[in-house]
Amino acid sequence: MNSLATLLHERSVIVCVGAGGVGKTTTAAALALEAANRGRRVCVVTIDPARRLSDAMGLGAEASLGNEPQRVDVKVNGELWAVMLDTSTTFDALIRKYALNADQANSILTNDFYRNIADSMSGAHEYMAMEKLYELNNDNRFDLVIVDTPPTSNAIDFLEAPDRITRFLDHRLYKVLVTPSGAFARVVNFAAQGFLRTVARIVSASVVDDAIEFFATFDGMEEGFRGRAVAVHNLLIADSTAFVLVTVPRNDTIEDATVFVEKLAQADINVDALVVNRVHPRFGTEEVRGLGEGPLAPFVTVLHESQQVAAGEQNVLEALTRALTNGVVVNVPFLDTDVHNLDELGRLALWLTPT
């Protein structure tokens, strides 16, 4: 069983997953800071649309993160960098990378249909996050990439993105749409004309024309995208990648976490560590209940209620911890302040990686 400290020392990718509002972004940032303190050259990247990473690292609005790695000004033994995913910019870079020539790239990048889907297409955010992870993992400036994912349901989309893009590229409709113009026109006339007329009535003929032009222009780029998807899938299941599940001891988040553990298991991926934030400590012993009379009675009552809360949290966590095969469990107590700067991140890191 690996400790979080061991994962920070040995792995090259750490993926933090979990429901929204459980402290996942802060946990990812704290792990990145601790790894940098231990001498790693770390880049922490968030694909969470809520954009909380800048706040968690105390960078402030004037130093907002972007799509390119930004070095954090902090005294550590290694290096700490951070990235905020920009879906559209990453998508554009990928088009330029796999286009057969500059004309093909420009045709796609100036296409109205492409410009509309670059940010809003279902799964685009998760697929571009996958691309950014792969890019950073192959960047010689870094020897560790820590990924802060969206809430659980979107995180599952992130993990399934490689398979989805491969299925899309192999779909018959896609192959029809990228068929060179002469054959393409014949196929549309015989196989898809009715469908396209229906779509045109719902949106507009110009939208359909832009979509047809986009897919036709895309012809020849499939192998690059398919190969990249396979490479990222292999990265996610590699021994060098660790998954850290972040949760809080609450029924709804534990249910989400349990489902995620099961989905990972179906993909032959284990959760390497479970971080439980905002845990109530279990003070005292059962013997204090006998002190419930006299001047100490109010304090004993509060202590007993606190013990009940802590016991209830442990009961809620039991099902999840049973689902873990060999992952380490790290409990982080309620802290007296929110984390808004690097000093507070360092304090959290001490709970995550105790000596």
Collapsed DSSP state (helix, strand, coil) of residue 236? helix
Q: What domain count does the chain have? A: 1
Q: Which long-range contacts (CB under 8 A, 24 or more apart) does 84-89 make?
A: 84/45, 84/46, 84/51, 84/53, 84/54, 85/45, 85/46, 85/47, 85/125, 85/128, 85/129, 85/132, 87/118, 87/119, 87/124, 87/125, 87/128, 88/118, 88/119
Distance CA 60, CA 70 (A): 13
Inside any domain, residue 190:
no
- The alpha carbons of the chain give a radius of gyration, in whole angstroms, of 25
Note whether 292 and 42 are within 8 A (CB).
no
Inside any domain, residue 144:
yes
For residue 26, what are the contacts with CB-CB under 8 A and spacing of at least 6?
A: 52, 56, 339, 345, 348
Inside any domain, residue 195:
no
Inside any domain, residue 18:
yes
Q: What is the pLDDT along the chain (355 residues), one digit of tens a residue?
A: 579 999 999 999 999 988 888 999 899 999 999 999 999 999 999 876 566 677 777 676 545 678 899 999 899 999 999 998 888 888 898 889 888 899 999 998 998 878 777 666 656 677 777 788 899 999 999 999 999 887 756 556 667 766 776 666 665 555 555 555 545 444 454 455 554 555 445 445 565 667 677 777 777 777 777 788 888 889 989 999 999 999 999 988 898 888 888 888 887 888 999 999 999 887 766 666 566 567 777 777 778 788 888 888 888 888 888 888 778 999 999 888 888 888 999 999 999 998 7
Inside any domain, residue 293:
yes
What are the tens digits of pLDDT across the range 220-252?
777 777 788 888 889 989 999 999 999 999 988
Q: Please choose, from the candidates 288, 337, 287, 278, the residue with its C-alpha nearest in 3D space to the C-alpha of residue 313.
A: 278
Structure tokens at 258: 């349990």
Note whether 21 and 250 are within 8 A (CB).
no
Quote the domain boundaries for residue 67: 4-99+122-161+236-306+327-352
Put simply, whether the predicted model's pTM sits higher than 0.85 gets the answer: no
What are the tens digits of pLDDT across the range 194-223?
545 554 454 455 656 676 777 777 777 777
CATH label of the domain that carries residue 54: 3.40.50.300
Inside any domain, residue 13:
yes
Inside any domain, residue 147:
yes
Inside any domain, residue 62:
yes
